Chain A
Amino acid sequence: MSRDEKLVHEALLYRGRDEFLATVLPFVRDALEADVMMLAVVPQPAIEALRDSLGSASTSVGFLDASTFYEHPVRTIAAYSQVVTQAAPRRVWALAEPSWQGRSPAEVMEWARYESIVNAAFETSGARVICPYDVGELSGEVVAEAKRTHPRLLDATGRWTSLGYLPPKDFNRECDRSPLPPPPPRAERLRFEKAEDLRGLRRFVADYATRRRMADSALAKLHIAMDEVAGNAVRHGTPPMELRVWTEGGRLICEVADYGHWHPDALVGFLPPGEGLGLWGARMLVDLVQIRAGWSGTYIRLHTRLSR
């Protein structure tokens, strides 16, 4: 890897619009001079402020509204991968400000995980990314996580190395350290052991999901994701295998459990695969996939929202 292929991934800690513009405008202007693809994926008010400040030069910047772009961490990584691939041989520089407001603590953790995975996913892309964090508005937890997911930090006064930075695999292991709460007693369960049983699992999930009025399109994706995960359990797991299904907080949760001792890579299924689809495909198709694997067995939970 030559030096300039390395990702530069920085968190900008700013207070208010003026500080934001004062720091990012030089970055954007450098990008326009460097003939790279400049992308600004930021909230709508920031898009407008940038357009005003840049004037006619703003036509060379690709603007995307962060409120719709940051809907699903794994899909967002895939979308950025596409951008990098399509831009090649040009490099991509980006301002990337995920929406943090209104997210539950669990969602905040998934988006922090996303920020961490960016370091692995684009490690050799040559991209330069500044992720603005409005420290006046955001919670202390969100800002603290930013310091652990970005190797470098900057503010109006300068840049420095983030001492709290954790490599993505370490950060991910930490995200998945606590065990998942056990399924509630009301969860419906079905044992399975061989590939021929997967069809029965699909029926079982369809029946359960239809009773809870899950949309057909969501069920179709859940079917494929569940089939993939249960198929992996059949191929690599240790019986008894069991599917558990329940609803919780407006979501249908589908857990595949087996007694196998699987030690997956901490980033399994987060990065778009070179070939094959596997767990990445499952992560793309449902709202959230949680994995816990250890000596007590392997548990994979697929979350699908019941209404949109």
Chain B
Amino acid sequence: MNFYERPVSELRPGDHAWLAYTNNEEQATIVGDFVYDGLRTQEKVVYVTDSRPHELPGMLSRFGIDPTPFAEVGQLRLITLEQSCLTRGRFDPDRLLTTLDREVDVAFDQGFRAVRLTADLSWALRQPGGADLMLGCEHRFDAAVGASTMALAICQLDRGQCSPEELAALRDKHEVLVEVNPEFDDGVLKITRTFRPLGLRLEGELDGVRHAVFADTLTNIVPRAQKIHLDFKRLDFIDLGALNLLATWAMRMPGGYGLVLDNLPPDVADVIDMLGWHRFPGLSRGQGEQQ
């Protein structure tokens, strides 16, 4: 199946999106936005989980809210695994599909214009035969959500719980890969956090007008005491000031850390070669592109 990446805020009814998160922070960032956007825009949010409302990813850490009041009035519905998808303690995909169908109908009857569904099924994958069960139900779930004019869904999986083969097979069942919202996007430059590897993806043109916002994003988002990757694949222009800014920033990182430039376009690699990598002591070539 062809798939495309879409920021969480751009998910639309009919989208059955996939999230293989790398760590809790990525989950909190994406799922947190998904739930929060729903609550904020009077959409129904249905979350299959044994957690309590204030424990949902990102609610407290990102937004500082306890969504319990939304649960009390029915806009946020948490359904336990026992109530939604377990039969005698085993993952039961038929039961999950029935549950979600029912929840969409209920939301419709309640007058919501959209319903957001999400579940983290990493645990089910670890049950005997779990991967096959999940693969078997994804297409039915895809058909159900895809045909809906009001349902949008995110299937969550903890990357660390799956084998690469399972990940690839499950990803192929989804048309949309959900990713974080960009930290910045003015139509010229887009800056998006990446979690695997940790860093930022830059797209468009990074010029003098955008130095300040880029420096702020680096400072606010990226921890200094780590190796940080910057993905240049879709960066069409970077000026000398920005290269200098990267070098200055990297110099302030603790010893042994630095900025790794991934997918350097050949033209940019050529420019840095010409000016001399020794002028950018904290920067190093990463993987991809460049010749």
Contacts and interface: CB of A to CB of B under 8 A. Distances in A.
Nearest to B207: A198
Given A224-B240, A228-B240, A231-B241, A198 B275 contact: no
B207 A221 contact: no
A88 interface: no
Given A82-B278, A220-B267, A195 B209 contact: yes
A307 interface: no
Interface stretch (A172-180, A259-267, A276-284): A276-284
Interface string A230-246: 01000000000000000
B209 A75 contact: no
Contact of B240 (A82, A199, A220, A278): A278
Given A216-B267, A220-B267, A198 B274 contact: no
Interface residues of B, number: 22
A202 B236 CA distance: 11
Contact of B244 (A196, A277, A284): A277
Interface in B21-57: none
Interface string A211-223: 0000011001101
Contacts of B209: 195-196, 198-199
A157 B165 CA distance: 80
For A195, A224, A278, the residue with the greatest tally of chain B CB atoms inside 10 Å of its CB is A224
B274 A277 contact: no
A37 interface: no
Interface string B212-250: 000000000000000000000000011111011000000
B274 A75 contact: yes
A281 B205 contact: no
Nearest to A202: B237
Nearest to A218: B267
Interface residues of A, number: 26
Nearest to A85: B278
Contacts of B136: none
A253 B19 CA distance: 50
A275 B280 CA distance: 10
A107 B132 CA distance: 72
Given A198-B209, A199-B188, A220-B271, A276 B244 contact: yes
DSSP majority for the A interface? helix
Contacts of A231: 208, 239, 241
A231 B242 CA distance: 13
Nearest to A198: B207
Contacts of B238: 224
Interface string A267-302: 000000001111001101100000000000000000
A78 interface: yes
B276 interface: yes
Contacts, number: 64
B244 A223 contact: no
Nearest to A230: B208
Interface in B265-285: 266-268, 270-271, 274-276, 278-279
Contacts of B275: 277, 281, 284-285
A281 B240 contact: yes
Contacts of B208: 195, 198, 227, 231
Contacts of A281: 240, 275
Interface in A77-115: 78, 82, 85
Given A224-B271, A227-B207, A277 B237 contact: no
Contacts of A224: 237-240, 271
A276 B248 CA distance: 9
A278 B266 CA distance: 22
B12 to A, nearest CB: 31
Contacts of A277: 240-241, 243-244, 275, 279
Contacts of A85: 278
A72 to B, nearest CB: 9
Nearest to A278: B240
B97 to A, nearest CB: 50
A307 B274 CA distance: 19
A167 B219 CA distance: 45
B206 to A, nearest CB: 11
Contact of A78 (B241, B267, B276): B276
A213 to B, nearest CB: 17
Interface of B: 188, 205, 207-209, 237-241, 243-244, 266-268, 270-271, 274-276, 278-279
12 contacts: A75-B274, A82-B276, A85-B278, A198-B209, A199-B188, A199-B207, A199-B209, A220-B270, A221-B267, A278-B240, A285-B271, A285-B274
Given A224-B271, A277-B244, A284-B275, 20 more contacts: A75-B274, A78-B276, A82-B278, A195-B209, A198-B207, A202-B205, A202-B237, A217-B267, A220-B267, A221-B267, A221-B271, A221-B274, A224-B237, A224-B238, A224-B239, A224-B240, A227-B207, A277-B240, A277-B275, A281-B240
User: What 8 A-B pairs have minimum CB-CB distances, sorted nearest first?
Assistant: A220-B267, A277-B240, A281-B240, A195-B209, A227-B239, A231-B208, A228-B240, A195-B208
